[in-house]
Every structure is written in structure tokens, then in C-alpha cells.
Structure 1
């Protein structure tokens, strides 16, 4: 799991390092490919639904759904040097047998590959409502109530203000606790920028 976290962090850092000190209109990774910081000045509300306990690294121990919501803030000026990521707060509310709910916060980078299609990467931390953290016989031995949060999504802008994303959330402790079952969800959400 630590390798996954490290890879996501390196991707985010590489994306922002390549942006350099260019203006918002000049931020590109390769020529006109890969614009970042496009939405740096916008607020955004995102809401969606996802499959609970579903993802590449999930243990798929239960069925159900997750209600997802995020509030994304404009990027503060001091984050300009790392690609103007936008701070976010969010939640994953599980609808399943023995659900675990997550509340999280961090930074979100968006890299546009066309005028409308983009990749969203999030990195932050979370807290959860899991009660039994260390018994692998019980559902989801997460090991800790404080976990890392990684998010990834592929988005499409229907208009300048309205967007949709196929996304996935990953929560784990990167083996900093005795158990690290991790929790993931994957689904669809929509956002409104203002």
C-alpha cells in the first residue's frame, strides 16, 4: 500500500514540477498537452454515488453503496508553485451491512488533456467511524481511525460550470498500524463550479 501512496504522490509532484512558474494560461506538461491549474479560482460542489468496498486494492468483503460529497475551495496563492491544487473536504457515507463512514480533506490537482477531459488526483488524510480496528475476523480491520486518502478520477466538463467524473477513493494507513485492510469505493459523481 505504501508503494501505491508513494506512486500517487510522485505523480502529483511530477505534474506540478513540470508546470514551473508559468501563468495559469501557460501551464502545460508537453506543449499544449496537460494544462493544470485551470480551475484554481473556482469553488466546486461534488456529489455522487459509488459501489462500496470496490476497487483494485479492496478486499471486497461487503456489498452496498457509498454516498460521496466534496466541497472544493479555490487554490490559495501560496500553492501556485506546486500547480495551484485546490483544498477539499469530503465524506464517503456507506450504505451497507456494517458500514464505515469516512470524512476527509486534502489537496486536489486537475490535469486537462483536452478543453473538456481531465484527470483528477487527490491526496490527503481522513478519519473514519470504524469500531473494531484490529480484528481481521470482523469486517474491515483498518488498523487506525486516522488514514490517508487518495482519490483519482477521469472527468468531462459538460459546460464551464458543470462537470462529471468517474472516480475512486482509497483509504488506508500505509502499514503504519498493525492491520491495513483498506477501504475503497468507485463510482460516478457530478460537480458544479462557481
Structure 2
């Protein structure tokens, strides 16, 4: 599938989630490719987490969409999925996310670059936060994208960083 068709399909998939009054926005910086350091440098992450729509399955968490932009112009991600709250204890919180990611990287290993096997992969994330204001949380997060050995190669991409989450409504 061509890049333009993949991007069109992702945008088409995301249209039902576009809402001006999202529940939460997240903005952060992370270290890109912490496992292999083939694609080093920082990455900017932007994410929007929505209130659970009425039609959304009650066990599916809250829907999210986001992007992970390599500031060194390596692999970029567009992703969507669900986010679950693990715990909230005083000012501390934890959450998990799972979904799919479309990447701009190579499918095969070429010239000392990562190879991801498939154009669309799984994406998992874990974050731990500390509430710094009534509607703001500072989070440390780790995300991983790979194809779960459905395609070959399956090198994956792991990033770790800090982000600020703020609730709108």
C-alpha cells in the first residue's frame, strides 16, 4: 500500500474521533529509539484523548489519536487506540494504552536503518503521572511500536520521555 493511501485510510479512520472539546491533550519530548540507538535524537509527541463516546465499548478505555515526530527526521508515527487508567492514588496516577500506528520508516532493513516489516504496527504505551495542578499532570512515559512478529523484520521502536497532560473539560 502506498504512503498516500495509508495516510488517507488513517485520516478516514480518525474522522469520527475529531471533536473540538477533547477530554485531554498531551504534549511531550522523548528519546527516540532507546533500544538500538540506530535512530537517535529527540521526538515530539502530541496526543488527544477523548471522553468515551456512548457507542464505545465500556471496556475499551478512552479513545486517543496522536503523533510521534522524530526531530532528527527519522521514523514518525501516527497512531490511534484506547487508553486505560490503571490507578489514581493521591497525586499519582498510571495508565496503559494500546492501538495501531502507521509509520514513515522502512519496512525492510536498509543502510543501517530500522526495518519494521509492516507499514501498520501495534503500539503500546505505559505512563506514570504526578498531578501538578487541578487540570495538569506531568507524566513519564514509554511507548513501543512493533508488528508482534506478524511481518519480517520486527525490529520495533521504543521511546521514553516526559509529557504534560492537561484536561479541557
If the TM-score is normalised by the length of the shorter chain, which range does it land in?
0.7 to 0.9
When the two chains are superposed, the root-mean-square deviation of aligned CA atoms in Å is: 1.9
Match of 1:111 in 2: 86
How big is the shift at 1:59?
Answer: 2.1
Distance in 2 (alpha carbons) for counterparts of 1:177 and 1:157: 40
Asked if the contact 1:59/1:181 (under 8 Å) is kept, the reply is: no
* Alignment map for 1:14-163 (pairs within 5 Å): 43-54=23-34, 58-79=35-56, 81-82=58-59, 85-96=61-72, 99-130=74-105, 132-135=106-109, 137-163=111-137
Runs of at least 5 residues in structure 1 that lack an aligned partner in the other structure: 1-41
Asked if the contact 1:48/1:190 (under 8 Å) is kept, the reply is: yes
Corresponding residue SS for 2:85: strand
How big is the shift at 1:134?
Answer: 1.4
Deviating 4+ runs (over 3 angstroms):
77-81
Match of 2:138 in 1: 164
Give the alignment's TM-score, normalised by structure 1: 0.70
Higher strand share: 2
Asked if the contact 1:47/1:190 (under 8 Å) is kept, the reply is: yes
Runs of at least 5 residues in structure 2 that lack an aligned partner in the other structure: 1-21
1:71-96 CA distances to partner (integer Å, 9 max, x unpaired)? Answer: 000012455642x7210000110022
Number of residue pairs aligned between Structure 1 and Structure 2? 148
Give the alignment's TM-score, normalised by structure 2: 0.80
Corresponding residue SS for 1:158: strand
